[in-house]
Amino acid sequence: MARKNRVAVIGASGRMGKAIIQVLSQSKVSELSAAVVGKGSVYLGLDSGLHSGLKQNEILFSDDLSKSISESDTVIDFSIREVLSDVLAVCKEFKKPVVVGTTGLVETHKELLKETSKSIPIVYSPNMSIGVNLLFKLTEIAAKVMGDLADIEIQDIHHRHKKDAPSGTAEKLKAILLETLSRTESNIVHGRHGILPERDPKEIAIHTLRAGEVIGDHTVYFFTPEERVEISHKAQDRKTFAVGSVKAAEFLIGREKGLYDMFSVLGL
């Protein structure tokens, strides 16, 4: 039997880390090799399996980034953007492919991803869900067909703890619409308030809600005078993002250096 792909999970004690560890425990191709947490974390030394609602796996939470990455085949990073540069530097040093699902990245982080991908293979996506990436593709198709005829709105709903707004998924939907319709940031409106002029035909509005424990709901609306098309994705379990992340890690096995997205992973 072939050896499994050994995966180091960065940000392993968080919501996504726990979900990824659960998915890895059931994978026939990959297995958890390291569970990395931040310096001074209260979880240091605890069993990552027990913390993730599984049986004891004897892989303890560690803050040793270099050791964890060097002893793994692939890395999945769902930590925080402040440590992305450290994660990428160590992955580059040891020539390890990495899946980056960290949210809230700004342009400097994306430039760093591009630069590092000249040395190692990287999958980056603001949303690793298979269904959300289908949402991205369907939005592109709808924009090509209806974009110049319709008023377009994006709705982004997440749990009350989420810090970045709009979400990376909403930002990706925006980018798809702008590119497909040859529009610019000047066409984007974030919410509405007060007495406003009549809606500009090229306007695209983004509405952000942060409430309760919603995992992630996204809808793109195309309104014409005669009809309305809604393309929606509603995450029912955080594990959907974990499944996509593990699939991306397995996609990277033996892959050439470069920057890939989930469209590449899913063949879209």
Annotated binding site for (S)-2,3,4,5-tetrahydrodipicolinate: 159, 168-169
- Report cis status (omega within 30 of 0) of the bond before 166: yes
Please indicate whether residue 158 is annotated as part of the active site: yes
Residues forming beta bridges with residue 162, ordered by sequence position: none
- Cite the annotated binding site by residue number: 11-16, 101-103, 125-128, 159, 168-169
Q: According to DSSP H, which parts of the chain are helical?
A: 15-26, 48-51, 65-70, 84-93, 107-116, 130-146, 168-181, 239-251, 262-266
Rounded distance between C-alpha atoms, residue 13 and residue 19, angstroms = 10
- Cite the annotated binding site for NAD(+) by residue number: 11-16, 101-103, 125-128
Which of 51, 96, 109, 158 does the annotation list as catalytic?
158
Rounded distance between C-alpha atoms, residue 201 and residue 149, angstroms = 9
Which of 67, 137, 162, 202 does the annotation list as catalytic?
162
Please indicate whether residue 161 is annotated as part of the active site: no
CB atoms within 10 A of CB 225: 7
What amino acid positions are annotated as catalytic residues? 158, 162
